[in-house]
Amino acid sequence: MNVPFPATLPRDAATEAGGVPLGDLPEWNLDDLYTAQDAPELKRDLDWLEEACASFATDYEGKLADLDASALLDCVRRYEKIDLIAGRIMSFAGLRYYQHTTDAERAKFMSDMQDKITTFTTPLVFFSLEFNRIPDERYDALMAENAELARYKPVFDRMRAMKPYQLSDELEKFLHDQSVVGSSAWNKLFDETIAGLSFEVEGETFGIEATLNLLSEQDRAKREAGARALAETFQSRLPLFARVHNTLAKEKEIEDRWRGLPTPQTGRHLVNHVEPEVVEALRNAVVNAYPRLSHRYYKLKAKWLGLDTLQVWDRNAPLPMEETRIVGWDEARKLVSDAYAGFDPRMAELAEPFFTDGWIDAGVKEGKAPGAFAHPTVVDVHPYVMLNYLGKPRDVMTLAHELGHGVHQRLAAGQGELLSSTPLTLAETASVFGEMLTFRKMLSEAKDPQQKKVMLAGKVEDMINTVVRQIAFYDFECKLHQARRGGELTPDDINALWMSVQAESLGPVFEFMDGYETFWAYIPHFVHSPFYVYAYAFGDGLVNALYAVYEEGTPGFEEKYFEMLKAGGSKHHKELLAPFGLNASDPAFWDKGLSMIEGFIDELEAME
């Protein structure tokens, strides 16, 4: 079932960043889902869902193998409608909850909806299990018999990829039922803990988002104070964070062992519909490029900052020549909209309702989940974007990124509920492409070489954070899950695993303050979606290669690009990239993407 990503809150008439007005920041209007938690439409849908799940099981359990193609198509369409209604309910509950994760009423509503939908949908567990028991010859014949049924084949193929790893019907139902007090409960504990943290910085108290924001302040003393406050608070809650990671990693290991999954990463690769060797090629290409990318760039940055060594609070520091400038909301909106329109007017048109119709929640608020995301909700509504907008140039890039997701999700909605969802490896395509369009537009408008240098450096840092940092995260997760198989991990054990990848990825120019070893504690992807992080590097490398094709002036690129986004999850990455002459299975593909980052660093060195 469709479950939302983390999400936001109400706005002030004029929200400020450090005393500087940002303008009138938008907030969500969730009425397109439901008008309130006691809305009659919500009760109607819950009642419908309970009955629909029960009747679906009555009509089809034990009978899938005997259905002809036409009857199976009816079955799949009924399943899709159930998925849509359940997704609508959980989207509403999830988005309200992430607006204010420390609000007890919202947390209760979210839990109640999770419990109800888990209970209602437990009778559906048989569907994938029985479908996977249909013999291959019979399956192929059904697909050949009915074109409308065959349209769902990508969904079925992904489902059948789990065939060797599925358990008995009783165990699968137990795991489904038990999830509300298993991983999802630990996820919620993590979210509420993070949202409730406070950080003391020079006599003031901040939430996590504002404290992390201090790490990109111009004043080095402020950056250091922010980093030390983060370390102090993380250290004080480290046993809890270690318990969350130990429990989730052990739970995953138990389920993987029962299923016979060969590695902790296998489940993620299957969901992403990507071959393990493709991920390994990506990982190896990035790790081999560390010296040419992050090590080389950060050595340059140390020189610009007038330092022999960098501390962790210097990693995202602005350059000395960089203007300390806050970008108001209206300016950010215009920058991104113009960049999208410059590529194709349809892109800007698809993005416009996010600004005008309450599809974005931008303000930083107490209890609001940190970070940013675009949640697709369901295909008969629209996506919602969450930001924590503070007016930094990087926040403009985040807006461009999340709007790219939103545009992608709107275009893919035409595939229907089951086929619209894009594997994570491809889900970052439009978001990173949207960032690149916005960056190129801003770069073309740079007033002088110094401003161009600042912008190039910022882009390189963003790409390093997306590629190098995420692959380092992936390696950390691989080590963490492997180590947990040997027994309980102490906080010090996890700290040591974190530092082993940080030093390797960031390079010899860095020193690491006491306390930085705890910074694994706040990364939500490790908790919510193990091994998700390589999708960012996959997406960035893919888009860099794609953008190179665009810059070459390939005829019909825009139309091919829109067709790729409209495909949603209906095609494998090989099919989607073939019209552009690209193949992610070719190790040279990743070098092509990484060479774009290298080229930017070459430009920066040439400016010295």
Under 8 Å between Cβ of 122 and 173 = yes
What is the tally of structural domains in the chain? 1
CA dist 166 and 127 (Å) reads 12
- Considering the domain boundaries, does residue 398 fall inside one? no
> Rounded to 5 degrees, what angle do the CA atoms 396, 402, 406 make?
135
pTM: 0.82
In a domain, residue 327? The reply is no
Asked if the structure places residue 142 within a domain, the reply is yes
SS3 200: strand
Residue 512 lies in a domain: no
> CATH number for the domain including 35?
1.20.140.70
> Is residue 88 a part of any domain in this protein?
yes
Q: 3-state DSSP helix/strand/coil percent for the chain, to nearest 5?
A: 70, 5, 25
- Residue-level pLDDT at 1: 31
Q: What pLDDT, on the 0 to 100 scale, is given for residue 11?
A: 26
Task: Report CA dihedral (451, 452, 453, 457) to the nearest 10 degrees.
Answer: 110
Query: How high is the pLDDT of residue 14?
Result: 35
Q: What is the structure's pLDDT at 16?
A: 52
Is-contact 118 46, C-beta < 8 A? Answer: no
Which residues of the chain fall below pLDDT 50? 1-15
169 domain-assigned? yes
Inter-residue contact 429 to 564 (CB < 8 Å): yes
Residues whose CB falls within 8 Å of the CB of residue 179, separated by 6 or more in sequence, listed in order: 118
Range of the domain at 122: 15-181
pLDDT digits (tens, 9 = 90+) for 314-327: 999 998 887 777 89
Cα–Cα distance for residue pair 504/30, rounded to 1 Å? 44
Sign of CA dihedral 185, 189, 192, 194: negative
Residue 265, in any domain of the structure = no
Q: How far apart are CA 354 and CA 26, in angstroms?
A: 9
In the prediction, which pLDDT does 461 show? 93
Non-local CB neighbours of 346 within 8 Å, separated by 6+ positions:
562
State which H helix or E strand residue 115 sits in.
helix 104-121
Per the domain annotation, does 322 fall within a domain? no
Nearest alpha carbon to residue 233 among 210, 204, 207, 215: 207
Q: List the structure tokens of 216.
A: 């990109």
